Amino acid sequence: MTDIEPDETVDGRGAACPGPLMDLIGQIRDAEAGDVVRLLSDTDQSLTDVPEWAEEAGNELLAVEEFDDHNAFYVEKS
């Protein structure tokens, strides 16, 4: 478990790819620099999509938590 406190949470569980990533991108666009957005996703594709997007977009992937039925990604807006 991480002790990171997100400013916003996007629940993309149940959505097909690239839905969770698109939801995350939308939330990051509305966030202020330094805000942390947590994405909850149950698609395995997010494990590669989110880190690749964060790097390309210049945001920082702070942590990934893996649970039995989903993953939580913590992204800080640059």
- Residues involved in catalysis: 17
Q: Each residue of 27-51: pLDDT tens digit?
A: 999 999 999 999 999 999 999 999 9
How many residues are recorded in the chain?
Answer: 78
pTM: 0.96
pLDDT at 2: 86
> What's the pLDDT tens digit per position in 59-75?
999 999 999 999 999 99
**pLDDT digit string, tens, across residues 11-30:** 999 999 899 999 999 999 99
Distance CA 62, CA 77 (A): 10
CATH of 8-77, one of 3.30.110.40, 3.40.50.300, 3.90.1200.10, 3.30.2450.30: 3.30.110.40
> Residue 74 has what pLDDT?
98
Radius of gyration of the chain (CA): 11
